[in-house]
Amino acid sequence: MPLDPKELLLHSDALAAKAGATQADLRRAISAAYYAIFHFVLAAAANMALGTSSPSTPGYGLVYRSIDHSRLRGLCDQLRGTKPGNVAITPTVGFGRIADFARLTVNLYEYRILADYEPSRDFTVDETKVAISDAREAIAWFQASAEEQQKAFLTMLLFRQR
């Protein structure tokens, strides 16, 4: 079964809420919050391609694992501005909340890189809790988007323009 984004976010909550949370706790909490979004998107893409009834099949795993972090980051970065540059598909109603989702996702990705690797930064409990909250909001915004917007985003995530 794919990793459950809700479980990852609850894991983040627990790390951030620990009495005397260490830098390791807070950094792992921020990282897990990003990974909640990452696995949410992978599942959404695989579900769109193959349906929701086949998560244990090789085909589902093939689609699920075809998306890497740089691919997701690159697409999200293309939706940074009000007028997305050089995208293959633009929904008739625009990207709406999917663009907000994309901006939060790329921010959390860069945040997670700092949390995972950057020795010069310290993280606070408060900022960690806000980051977890932002991850939840990003997923909610994606889910609240129109099907056309979701499909446009996921199709561009799965297939490269030539």
Partner 1 sequence: MSTLSDQEVVKIAKGVAAANNVSVDQVLTAPAWDSTGASAIEIKYVLTPGSSAAIMGERSALTVSQLIQQLADRGEERFPIVRYEEKVAARS
List of residues contacting partner 1 (CB under 8 A): 70, 73, 77, 80-83, 99-100, 103-104, 106-107, 109-111, 113-114, 124, 126-127, 129-130, 133-134, 136-138, 141
Select 46 or 131, whichever has its Cβ closest to partner 1: 131
Select 47 or 128, whichever has its Cβ closest to partner 1: 128
Report how far residue 26's alpha carbon sits from residue 128's, in angstroms, rounded to the nearest whole number. Answer: 6
Select 39 or 136, whichever has its Cβ closest to partner 1: 136
Select 59 or 81, whichever has its Cβ closest to partner 1: 81
Least distance from partner 1 to the Cβ atom of residue 135, Å? 9
Report how far residue 62's alpha carbon sits from residue 93's, in angstroms, rounded to the nearest whole number. Answer: 31
Select 136 or 151, whichever has its Cβ closest to partner 1: 136
- The DSSP result for the chain, as a single string, is -PPPHHHHHHHHHHHHHSTT--HHHHHHHHHHHHHHHHHHHHHHHHHHHH-TT-TTSHHHHHHHTT--HHHHHHHHHHTSSSS-SS-S---TT--THHHHHHHHHHHHHHHHHHHHH-TT----HHHHHHHHHHHHHHHHHHHHS-HHHHHHHHHHHHS---
Least distance from partner 1 to the Cβ atom of residue 123, Å? 9
